[in-house]
Amino acid sequence: MHPLILLPAYLAVTVAPLVLSWLQDLPPRPFWDEVSSGLAMAAFAIMLAEFVLSGRLRTISGSIGMDVTMRFHQLVARTALAFVLLHPFLYSTPFGRALPWDTTGQLSLGLDTASLASGVIAWVILPGFVLIAVLRDRQPFRYETWRLLHLLGAVVVAVAVTHHTLAAGRYSADPWLAGFWLLLVTTAVGSLAWSRLAAPLLKARHPYEVCGLRRIALRSWELGIRPIRGPALRFRAGQFVWLNIGHSPFSLHENPFSISSAPAQRPEIRFVVKEVGDFTRSLGTVAPGTRVWLDGPHGNLTLDGRSAAGVALIAGGVGIAPLLGIARQMLAEGDRRPLVLLYGNRVAGQIVYGDELAALADRPATRVVHVVSEPAADWTGEVGQIDRAIVERVFGPEGAADWLYLVCGPPAMIDVVEDALTGIGVPSGRILSERFYYD
Ligand SMILES: Cc1cc2nc3c(=O)[nH]c(=O)nc-3n(C[C@H](O)[C@H](O)[C@H](O)COP(=O)(O)OP(=O)(O)OC[C@H]3O[C@@H](n4cnc5c(N)ncnc54)[C@H](O)[C@@H]3O)c2cc1C
């Protein structure tokens, strides 16, 4: 779906309850009461839309990219939290049960015990829920445990808010608004059912197996998989998949990895995996033939469908993975556009596929620049980190406006590179980046 459709569609969903309330033409209440109801309804719409913005729907993440999807998910979650926290304090109409003769809800907020309880539950749980998500990296539990808690927390909050809105909401008794909420709740449940039930069922019909695993650099592995039956996944160079190795297709044990091989190299699909934690450190023990399930392809760090007079690939560490896929596909297709690869590592031993990259540099109009921050005595390449100075030195202003710049690596490097590129006149629309961070 085109990004220019997604944003208006999202705004329409969050504003629709306000419009549907206004159209009811109920007698007005004090200004801040109306603001409070409006904030609460907008927050409810945002919360339900968050299920769709979880990054697992390819229609969305394939269009605007995983990074933008997840940053948006976080930003609007904080906005919804602020609205919810303010909501009970803005009313001047007294709290209390609905009075039989007060059909337009002007004299009291009409809260019975159940609707008050569901409102309080959501109001108490939501801040903790958002805080735990914001501070995820500092928590002692495993990533999969956090994911399960996040999922369950989201469902509990959504159920409580749905009950509170339908039972206590002055405007939500209206059939049009109630119908709108029903549609939104169904969409949220549908997207959950898709990612946790339907997508795993589809995965289960296309099993893969590990067909190659070898260490290719310090703390880095090349993992190869191939379909056991049927054709291999169709993907665009630079995209990523969720890999589930050796668990049930319904398991939460799945990690995102960029495909480092080119679509032209199918049916085998390869990855570069860096050891960082539980799963990646145990990868070396995976036996050939182990079952693998794929969810994807996801992401939009790709050249396909974009015009570019030249291609700049900027990788920090294992961020090379998707960019390798792109370079390999360019070679396979005989793409003759100029290509510059800037590839940073801490030490030279971390460079993956050194020989292949040296051969790539022999291609016409191609440059491969290695940067190492802790060089050995015999290192002859660039020294330092990928920073503004090196970006300016390697790329310069020529071609800035019509090349495409694809950046992948640690978040801090991406920020520096994006700033440096815009500094030399690259329009932000010509920079595509992906952080290896999903939250
Ligand atoms: C779009 C994308 C593409 C990626 N591509 C690559 C790649 O090509 N090569 C590579 O080496 N790494 C890649 N990563 C990073 C990789 O997913 C994590 O390093 C890996 O999941 C860590 O798992 P762990 O159990 O070994 O580490 P842990 O110590 O458990 O986790 C380290 C960090 O990795 C992330 N992480 C852990 N488990 C998951 C999970 N199940 N789902 C999502 N994130 C998780 C969390 O941020 C966590 O804090 C990519 C990440 C993203 C978001």
Q: Write down the H helix ranges in 65-142.
A: 66-86, 113-134
Query: Strand 220-227 relative to strand 208-217: parallel, antiparallel, unpaired?
Result: antiparallel
| Whether 167 and 100 share a structural domain | yes
**Going by C-beta distance under 8 Å and a sequence separation of 6 or more, which residues neighbour residue 388?**
416, 419, 420, 423
| Whether 46 and 194 share a structural domain | yes
pLDDT of amino acid 420:
93
Name the DSSP class of 95.
P
| Whether 131 and 56 share a structural domain | yes
- Give the pair of three-digit tokens for residue 52: 């769709």
Q: Is this prediction's pTM over 0.85?
A: yes
Q: Domain holding 421: CATH number?
A: 3.40.50.80
Atom of ligand 1 nearest to the CA of 136: 49
Domain that holds residue 430: 311-435
Question: Nearest residue CA, atom 20 of ligand 1?
Answer: 255
CA 144, CA 156: separation in Å to the nearest integer?
Answer: 18
**Upstream peptide bond of 267 is cis (omega within 30 degrees of 0):** yes
Q: Domain holding 218: CATH number?
A: 2.40.30.10
Atom of ligand 1 nearest to the CA of 322: 8
The answer to whether residue 303 sits within a structural domain is no
Averaged pLDDT in 10-residue chunks for the chain of 439 residues = 83 96 90 94 96 83 82 94 96 74 69 90 94 86 87 95 91 93 96 92 93 95 95 94 94 94 96 94 95 92 91 96 97 94 96 96 94 93 91 81 93 93 91 82
| Whether 359 and 242 share a structural domain | no
Q: What is the count of structural domains for the chain?
A: 3
CA 123, CA 336: separation in Å to the nearest integer?
Answer: 58
| Whether 77 and 177 share a structural domain | yes
pLDDT of amino acid 374:
95
Question: Nearest residue CA, atom 2 of ligand 1?
Answer: 436
SS3 399: coil
Q: Is 256 in the pocket of ligand 1 (CB under 6 A)?
A: yes
| Whether 92 and 223 share a structural domain | no
CA 165, CA 190: separation in Å to the nearest integer?
Answer: 20
**Upstream peptide bond of 411 is cis (omega within 30 degrees of 0):** no
| Whether 214 and 325 share a structural domain | no
The answer to whether residue 405 sits within a structural domain is yes
Atom of ligand 1 nearest to the CA of 259: 8
Question: CA 408, 414, 418 angle in degrees (round to 5)?
Answer: 115
Q: In what order do the strands lie in the sheet with 240-245?
A: 255-258, 240-245, 291-298, 208-217, 220-227, 269-274
pLDDT of amino acid 266:
93
Q: How many residues does the chain have?
A: 439
Query: Strand 240-245 relative to strand 255-258: parallel, antiparallel, unpaired?
Result: antiparallel
| Whether 279 and 158 share a structural domain | no
The answer to whether residue 41 sits within a structural domain is yes
- Calculate how far, in angstroms, residue 142's C-alpha sits from the geometric centre of ligand 1: 12
CA 45, CA 185: separation in Å to the nearest integer?
Answer: 9
Q: Which of 152, 178, 203 is the last residue of a domain?
A: 203
- Calculate how far, in angstroms, residue 219's C-alpha sits from the geometric centre of ligand 1: 14
| Whether 18 and 167 share a structural domain | yes
DSSP 285-311: GPPTT-EEEEEEEE---S-TT---SSE
pLDDT of amino acid 233:
93
- Calculate how far, in angstroms, residue 223's C-alpha sits from the geometric centre of ligand 1: 15
pLDDT of amino acid 439:
63
CA 91, CA 32: separation in Å to the nearest integer?
Answer: 6
pLDDT of amino acid 405:
96
| Whether 241 and 278 share a structural domain | yes
- Calculate how far, in angstroms, residue 244's C-alpha sits from the geometric centre of ligand 1: 12
Helix (H), strand (E) at residue 83: helix 66-86
pLDDT of amino acid 426:
92
pLDDT of amino acid 173:
85
Burial-class residue 439 by CB neighbours within 10 Å (0-12, 13-18, 19+).
Answer: middle
| Whether 255 and 340 share a structural domain | no
| Whether 108 and 195 share a structural domain | yes
**Going by C-beta distance under 8 Å and a sequence separation of 6 or more, which residues neighbour residue 178?**
166, 172
